[in-house]
Amino acid sequence: MTGGEILAAGKLIGAGAATAGVAGAGAGIGMVFSGFLNGLSRNPELRDLLFRNTILGFALTEAMGLLAIMMVFLIMYS
């Protein structure tokens, strides 16, 4: 194997490992909305407060997934 082939293989392995963050973000989003539905079913009067916190949690969790995808692109195309 040449040095270029080893570098390409390393990039592919690194990009594959970086995609684990996307799976973690998907699980995190599911947990955020699960917590929202659980809290809403226990105390419906707090709907507005719970919804605001849920949207904030969703945005922060989704941002981590997008950062993981950005890392994949940086690894692959740099």
Q: What is the pLDDT of residues 6-55, one digit of tens each?
A: 999 999 998 988 888 899 999 999 999 999 999 999 999 999 999 999 99
Q: In a 10 Å sphere around its CB, with 0-12 CB exposed, 13-18 middle and 19+ buried, how is residue 53 labelled?
A: middle
Phi, psi angle pair for 43, to nearest 5°: -145, 85
The amino acid occupying position 12 is L
Number of domain units in the chain: 1
In terms of residue numbers, what domain contains 32? 3-76
Please, are residues 61 and 21 in contact by the beta-carbon 8 Å criterion?
A: no
pTM: 0.80
CATH code, domain with 57: 1.20.20.10
In the predicted structure, residue 1 carries a pLDDT above the cut 90: no
